[in-house]
Amino acid sequence: MGLGKVMYQKDENGTIISPGKFEGENQETVDYWEEAMNGMADEEITDIDGTQYSIFYVSDNSNIVIHCDDNGFVYKSFLNKQEKNKLVSEIINAHLEVINHDNK
């Protein structure tokens, strides 16, 4: 059974209240997480701390970003194109700083 098929206890707004990695999120977060785990993200990037961001292109100026924090909780964010590009640039620049520091 895939994650999207699991029945989570939800409040009246559809927010998952069952304890676990999706607590505080909605079913859409679970569905996108499952897609990310199946390699279906449009773009993936990992920051220097090992956090992987799975990016789904929703439209020309709209992206959904899924990531898991150090405690195992999964989060979904909506980013426009500029915000998504800034996130990716910051991650790449952090990697380059590490590389440049190591080469000194």
pLDDT tens for the chain, residues 1 to 104? 345 467 899 999 999 999 999 999 999 999 999 999 999 999 999 999 999 999 999 999 999 999 999 999 999 999 999 999 999 999 999 999 999 888 77
| Number of separate domains in the chain | 1
- What's the order of all strands across the beta sheet hosting 62-68? 43-46, 52-59, 62-68, 74-79
Residue 75's domain comprises 3-102
What pLDDT, on the 0 to 100 scale, is given for residue 103? Answer: 78
What pLDDT, on the 0 to 100 scale, is given for residue 70? Answer: 92
Whether the full predicted model's pTM is greater than 0.75, yes or no, is yes
Residue 11, number of CB atoms within 10 A of its CB: 8
- Nearest of 102, 60, 49 to residue 84 by alpha carbon: 60
- List CB contacts of 98: < 8 A, sequence separation 6 or more: 48
